[in-house]
Structure 1
Amino acid sequence: MKNFKTLTLLIGFLLLFSCKNQSNSSEISDNLTDKSENPSQNFGIVIHGGAGTILKENMSDSLEMAYKMKLEEAIRVGHEILRQGGTAMEAVTKTINIMEDSPLFNAGKGAVFTHEGINELDASVMDGATLNAGAVAGVTRVKNPIDLALAVMNDSPHVMLSGKGAETFAQERGFELVDPTYFYTENRFQSLQRIKDKEKTELDHDGKTAFTDPFIKDSKFGTVGCVALDKNGNLAAGTSTGGMTNKRWNRIGDAPIIGAGTYANNATCAVSSTGWGEFFIRAMVAHDISALMEYKGLSLQEAAAEVIQKKVPALGGDGGIVSIDKHGNVAMEFNTAGMYRAHMNAAGELIIGIYKDE
């Protein structure tokens, strides 16, 4: 009898310990599941301020610091929006606003001049959740073109508006239109004069201006862009630019072209481009990166490298992209000497780079 009681107590103790251990294991498993499946554990933002022949030996310490400070200011605005649960689209547009308002970048306030001495601005946005998009091209009085692109997406039945029509739409939607002199910066104006002086000395056999690569290579970069992944797992992308110095005939580059300069799809990634727009349009760079992921199963980095390091150079173009995928992986790929860029992840870790070896 004594042995039986002892055995009963022992069995009871073992059952109690087993139940408690299973309960603890279940709690641990639930906690791990919550962390791995909860999208709010992961978000991120990436920006660029243009790519091109950006060499450290040509950059003063003070100018380099100014660029890095502005990149940090811009990306922290977007990151804070994401941290507080804001949407990827809000983070993208507010971040781009900071760069549009800075004379450092070829967008908004710092836009380059056309051959006629005016500033023509382009911008686009895309929502990865809905595949909705909006764009404007050739506007001359809109302070923040990225905001107008967002309005086209949200408040019109169209994807792209241009020129005076886009500005009429802006006015009807309550946008404040600025005097075109707002966009004047002396260094951009002098850049135009230098390129026009070069044109006078290099004429083709018909006596017409020779639009050779050197003119374009010195004048096409500076576009700004942003991509973001929010806590709800949604992606968004946006791009804004003043285009190419000395551009003529209302030329439009890749920045406002959905699939070339901007693309976002929750199934794959969000991309913003900067580079020689004619080639980025022909290669449909932003969409091509997404397509390689969706149809060929490439990673974001593999797809970005394939397009930027192989496809675009094979056509004769150059430039770069920033991108983020649905898991928060990032690619900042470029085939030029430099690209102004920055990235912040959910942990708040910040990476800023300008030159290729950074």
Structure 2
Amino acid sequence: MTLHHLTLIMGCVAALAAIAPASAEEARPDGKWSIALHGGAGTLTRARMTPEKEAEYRASLQAALDAGAKVLREGGTAMDAVTATITVLEDDPKFNAGRGAVYTWEGTNEMDASIMDGTNRAAGAVAGVGDVRHPILLARAVMEHSPHVFLSGKGAEQFAAEQGLEIVPPEWFATEERKKQLEKLKKEHLSALDVEFKFGTVGAVAMDQSGHLAAGTSTGGMTGKRWGRIGDSPVIGAGTWADDRACAVSATGWGEYFIRVGVAHEICDRMLLAGEDVQTAADKVIAEVGEMGGDGGVIVMSKDGEPVFAMNTPGMYRGRATSEGTNEVAIFSDEEPTKGD
């Protein structure tokens, strides 16, 4: 072996070591943790929202953020923090996921969700489920207790029942506001964007005290969707991605465009392969979505625990908290996040 060949081999070894995830024991001896969430992006303007409604949304975001932060503060895993955050949002009728999910053209609820573990890139996803109280828990069960990554429809519902997850009647998801949105869409021949003003998705990304990442996303889809339409939320690599070597991402937006760009995976690839910082990578990918004609936003957690937001819409329900004292929520794109208690 020549000195030149040895030098090349040593260079490759060094490059691989640089992107390899640190072990749990050495990753975060300082107990550092971080979490971020979103509740959908879209035409969220002050003109469309009363002070009372704005306060209600901020309180809901804070409650979900607190649930995830508590898990991390007490030494829990990023996976547990993500599911704790999202289940709170799935139970809140103000958000289009779980209870409060929008209606399909036929007047039913079809929900999608996905989750990913950054330690080993294990993932689980479900689409088109209608009787599972917490689709995010079903996605996690697919990841942990099945040989598959993606289940849909009746099969996913059967698996949920076999796993002992909570099954609820259709009335659980029903809300008057969502019914009115569907009626308005049909009567006035509108699009989902005309009646919702935002893309219906919730999500969370987290880094735990071991330095591990996780991401999850849950949605009711778009008002009036037909033919079993599925957006980006349950698509691993489009709506959700987590890799300890780079970042964790949860997206919300016009799903067809987010799928075509592969938004979540693309952001992490830019960080891992091109060396871009987390904000630059997120901004560039969302700009690419915009250039194609789509809109929406992302929350991204870097491998160092930096939580950032990127969007090309007037607003996105969002929040973040860290072990270093950050605790804030925001709605509009032009505002500084509001500090929580």
| TM-score greater than 0.5 by the shorter chain | yes
Equivalent residue for 2:230, pick from 228, 252, 264 = 252
Cα drift, residue 198 of structure 1: 1.9
- Match runs of 1:1-358 below 5 Å: 38-199=28-189, 215-218=191-194, 219=196, 221-308=199-286, 310-358=287-335
Cα drift, residue 347 of structure 1: 2.3
Alpha carbons 2:134, 2:166 under 8 Å: kept: no
CA RMSD of aligned residues (A): 1.2
Alpha carbons 1:275, 1:320 under 8 Å: kept: yes
SS at 2:191 equivalent = helix
Cα displacement string for residues 308-358 of structure 1 (whole angstroms, at most 9, x for unaligned residues): 1x2101111000000111111121111001000000011232111100111
Amino acid at match of 2:300: S
Cα displacement string for residues 80-99 of structure 1 (whole angstroms, at most 9, x for unaligned residues): 11011000000000110000
Paired residue total? 308
> Quick one: distance in 2 between partners of 1:126 and 1:264?
6
> Quick one: distance in 2 between partners of 1:342 and 1:83?
16
Say if 1:348 and 1:80 are closer, same or farther in 2 by CA, change over 3 A: farther
Instruction: Please report the TM-score for the alignment, with normalisation by the length of structure 2.
Output: 0.88
Cα drift, residue 222 of structure 1: 2.3
Higher share in helix: 1
> Quick one: distance in 1 between partners of 2:53 and 2:139?
30
Alpha carbons 2:36, 2:319 under 8 Å: kept: yes
> Quick one: distance in 2 between partners of 1:105 and 1:263?
22
Amino acid at match of 2:263: V
Cα drift, residue 39 of structure 1: 4.1
Alpha carbons 2:133, 2:167 under 8 Å: kept: yes
- List gaps (5 residues or longer) in structure 2: 1-25, 336-341
Larger Rg belongs to: 1
Say if 1:91 and 1:37 are closer, same or farther in 2 by CA, change over 3 A: closer
> Quick one: distance in 1 between partners of 2:235 and 2:272?
21
> Quick one: distance in 2 between partners of 1:178 and 1:242?
15
SS at 2:124 equivalent = strand
> Quick one: distance in 2 between partners of 1:38 and 1:233?
6
Alpha carbons 1:225, 1:273 under 8 Å: kept: yes
Amino acid at match of 2:307: V
> Quick one: distance in 2 between partners of 1:101 and 1:348?
27
Amino acid at match of 1:221: F
Amino acid at match of 1:227: V
SS at 1:108 equivalent = coil
- The 10-residue stretch of structure 1 (288-297 or 341-350) with the greater mean CA deviation from structure 2: 341-350
The runs of at least 4 consecutive aligned structure 1 residues that moved more than 6 Å come to: none
Cα drift, residue 245 of structure 1: 0.2
SS at 1:110 equivalent = coil
Alpha carbons 2:135, 2:218 under 8 Å: kept: yes
Alpha carbons 2:296, 2:312 under 8 Å: kept: yes
- The 10-residue stretch of structure 1 (322-331 or 237-246) with the greater mean CA deviation from structure 2: 322-331
> Quick one: distance in 1 between partners of 2:29 and 2:67?
21
Cα drift, residue 215 of structure 1: 1.1
> Quick one: distance in 1 between partners of 2:123 and 2:307?
22
Cα displacement string for residues 114-137 of structure 1 (whole angstroms, at most 9, x for unaligned residues): 000000000000000010000000
Amino acid at match of 2:266: D
SS at 1:41 equivalent = coil
Alpha carbons 2:257, 2:292 under 8 Å: kept: yes
> Quick one: distance in 2 between partners of 1:167 and 1:349?
39
Alpha carbons 2:206, 2:248 under 8 Å: kept: yes
Alpha carbons 1:39, 1:233 under 8 Å: kept: no
Cα displacement string for residues 62-81 of structure 1 (whole angstroms, at most 9, x for unaligned residues): 11011000100101111011
Say if 1:95 and 1:39 are closer, same or farther in 2 by CA, change over 3 A: same
Alpha carbons 1:40, 1:233 under 8 Å: kept: no
> Quick one: distance in 2 between partners of 1:75 and 1:351?
9
Alpha carbons 2:27, 2:211 under 8 Å: kept: no
SS at 1:109 equivalent = coil
Amino acid at match of 2:310: E
